[in-house]
Amino acid sequence: MTDSTPQTATAEADALFEENRQKTKKALPSLLIVFTLGTLMIQAFNLVFQNIGDSLHMSSSASLISTLPGIVLGVVCMLYGTLCDFISPKRITIAGVTALILGSLLGFFGASNFWVILIARMIQVAGAQVEGSVFLVMAMKYLRDNEKAIYLGLFNAVYYLAAAIGVFAGGFITSFDWKYLFLVPALSIFCLPFIIKNTPDISAKGEKMDYIGIAIFAVFAALIAIYFSFPSVWYIVGIVVFAAIFACWVIFSSHPFLSKSFITNGKFMSIVLLQFVYYFFNFACVPIYNIIGDKIYHMPLTTISLCLTIVYVVATIVGMFSGPVINKLGRTTTLTIASIMLIVGFAGSAIFIKTSFWLLTALACIFIAGITAVYTPLYDAASYALPVDENGRGVGILDLVMNTSASIGMAVYSALMANPALSKGSLFHVGTGAVAATSNMFWIMAAAALLAFILFLVFRKSVAPQKK
């Protein structure tokens, strides 16, 4: 009798896991579709926000359509991942789809008012990210080991595919009326029945939500995101103050949502460090090619966009196959190859800056493939570094670090490109002016990629396969 009790409990746990696994596999495609519809709007509105501002006589404030939803995205990435450890995925997902649809309708019918459009975009972004966060958390919690990498890679591929579609959709729809962009995410309503039917309805039992700790951390994350859109010394002061408040909360609170063991988890924190360094110049990869095409090769924007579309397509393909590659080669080998591709792509661009824009496009495909290939092994490794019931918080932290790192990198990139010293001369004497500035910038990016590779070699045991 005593021997059968543990066996019965194990059998019940296995049966529950299999039930949730089957539901998850059915729900993930619908979540991915909704996430894609919401995410492609980011690039679409980044392309047309000035047109919107001009048509509503708000040209000077037009950039808010891009920056404020970006701030919302930076905060909710962390928030939703954390909430998934406490709230039922079904409940939070239904709320997200509802917000996405309401935001779409509000933007379409309120298209004559700039501030209504701005609010609608923030609601859309917040709603769409729910599906992204829930997708990642469900994949890490409820799938088998060999399935996690497949779905993480697919998620990464869809992100780049959505970016490419968004640029195209923004240009196409703007040709007759930009307000119809708002209706694209409203198509999510057709996925809602599948999400309701298949998403697991499981919430943490016996755990109290740390509302205060989550609120403090949310303000901290918001201040970071706001600072890189609207730099001010007061935001830095706020960041330091709320970081100190949060540290005290973790130390002295009885049940903080990020426990001391979470923060002192060496394997996970080393993955967070790798995430920060690898993605530092992620946002700078596109604007530097606009400068190269315009200032060096004097190419029209349409041709530059075509080349960037090719780059996005390569990223999509790499993301699709990154899961099977990791299952075949392992995380450490995949990260090694990705690191080398980053270094070669950046350094090659620096050396051949004046040779051919098409050669630079090929080199861009190499380093974007490297950046894309980094994503899946890091998130996959994080799922093993943390207990299952903390995977949601792990996803939230990684998302926050990825966006924050890229924002800091973008600020550094902008400051360096504006510095006249960068354009006076370059390594190997490739030229001066825009040629020197972009070449030197690529060398700096290559140095950052090399640093990431060195840190990976130091912490490679953190991403090596391990059993829970």
What mean pLDDT do residues 261-285 have? 87
Cα separation of 23 and 34, whole Å? Answer: 17
Q: What is the pLDDT of residues 277-335, one digit of tens each?
A: 999 888 787 778 878 888 888 887 677 777 888 888 898 899 888 888 888 888 999 99
Cα-based distances in Å from 160 to 5, 66, 91, 109, 338: 49, 18, 27, 29, 17
Cα separation of 452 and 341, whole Å? Answer: 12
Residue 410 near residue 441 (C-beta atoms within 8 A): no
Q: How confident is the model at residue 240 (pLDDT cuts 50, 70, 90)?
A: very high
Neighbouring CB atoms inside 10 A of 112's CB total 10
What mean pLDDT do residues 237-258 have? 86
Q: How confident is the model at residue 51 (pLDDT cuts 50, 70, 90)?
A: confident
**Helix axes 64-83 and 211-227, enclosed angle (nearest 10):** 150
At residue 205, does pLDDT exceed 60?
Answer: no
At residue 468, does pLDDT exceed 50?
Answer: no
At residue 447, does pLDDT exceed 90?
Answer: yes
- The one-letter amino acid at 182: F
Q: What is the pLDDT of residues 349-363, one digit of tens each?
A: 999 998 899 999 999
Q: What is the pLDDT of residues 396-414, one digit of tens each?
A: 888 878 877 887 887 788 7
**Per the structure block, which two tokens stand in for 405?**
């790192």
At residue 365, does pLDDT exceed 90?
Answer: yes
- The one-letter amino acid at 53: G
H-state helical runs in 299-330: 301-329
- 148-161 burial code (b ≥16 CB/10 A, e <16): bbbbbbbbbbbbbb
Residue 4: per-residue pLDDT: 52
What is the average pLDDT score of the chain? 83
